[in-house]
Amino acid sequence: MNASLHRGIGMTSLRTRERMIERLREQGIRDERVLAAMGAVPRHIFVEEALASRAYEDTALPLGFQQTISQPYVVARMIELLLNGTTARVLGKTLEIGAGCGYQAAVLGTLTREVYAVERIEPLLARARKHLAQLRLNHVRLKHADGNLGLLAAAPFDSIIVAAAAARVPQALLDQLAPGGRLVLPLGSSGNGDQILTLVERKTDNSGYSETRFDAVRFVPLVTGIE
Ligand code: SAH
């Protein structure tokens, strides 16, 4: 994809995006594949027009429906954890839970050919569809569904990324992770700032899972059901 060909993306946004990439480097993001993907996706088309000038700041921004578009650093960090900074690992078939308006799904879509993203709020999903179509990321498949159930029809997944905080890892997601697969999610209750970005790896011999804890983060809660 050549995002710079996209209508309405001028030099200003390219330069601010370059600055965003520099900042991500300073914040410790090392994987060049992740940095390139973050640089290829114009974040401003995902936020409302009134906020577009702030699209490249390292901050979460409101999406409506009491949801937020994730902070660039957190998007980059989660994907980097899935890749583990080794050039050997690729994302493979990837599932995102909580697509929101589709920003992280777009970044994933520049890194792998097989992406499924589910979102429980239908109007947000409609916006995600529009944004991904604008960027011609037609291989990113969006579903209106409760992510607690994973996406059985497309399982197993090599990578699963959860963009909403859960007190524990939903069992369906553990089940739908391929042997050797990786899942990253904010673990902990929402609101009081004690969520921890956690990496769950399914052992290649299928003998169980291991869990590693990383940064403290703040996400909206993973809730049940669709609307
Ligand atoms: N990935 C988005 C972040 C969206 S915020 C980005 O790139 O900016 C988290 C999203 O998770 C919200 O849109 C919320 O509606 C959704 N969500 C919460 N619980 C969910 C569930 N059980 N199933 C699917 N989506 C869920």
Ligand 1 atom nearest to CA at 148: 22
With a pLDDT cut of 70, the percent of the chain lying above it is 93
Within a domain: 50: no
pLDDT digits (tens, 9 = 90+) for 55-102: 999 999 998 898 999 999 999 999 999 998 777 889 999 999 999 999
Average pLDDT over residues 23-31: 96
- Total tally of structural domains belonging to the chain: 1
In the predicted structure, residue 6 carries a pLDDT above the cut 60: no
pTM, 2 dp: 0.94
Paired tokens of 68: 């937020």
Q: In testing the pocket of ligand 1, which one of 111, 222, 226, 227 has its CB within 8 Å of the most ligand atoms?
A: 222
CATH number for the domain harbouring residue 168: 3.40.50.150
Within a domain: 38: no
Confidence of residue 4 (pLDDT cuts 50, 70, 90): very low
Mean pLDDT of the chain: 92
Within a domain: 2: no
- Nearest residue by C-alpha to atom 1 in ligand 1: 99
Does 70 participate in catalysis according to the annotation? Answer: yes
User: Where does ligand 1 bind, in terms of residues with CB under 6 Å?
Assistant: 67-70, 97-100, 103-104, 118-121, 124, 146-148, 163-164, 220, 222-223
Per-residue confidence (pLDDT) for residue 2, from 0 to 100: 44
Confidence of residue 148 (pLDDT cuts 50, 70, 90): very high
pLDDT digits (tens, 9 = 90+) for 103-123: 999 999 999 999 999 999 999
- Nearest residue by C-alpha to atom 26 in ligand 1: 98
**Host domain of residue 103:** 60-217
* φ, ψ dihedrals at 87, nearest 5°: -70, -15
Task: Report d(CA 45, CA 42) in Å as an integer.
Answer: 6
In the predicted structure, residue 1 carries a pLDDT above the cut 60: no
Ligand 1 atom nearest to CA at 46: 8
Within a domain: 55: no
- Nearest residue by C-alpha to atom 17 in ligand 1: 98
Task: Report d(CA 163, CA 117) in Å as an integer.
Answer: 10
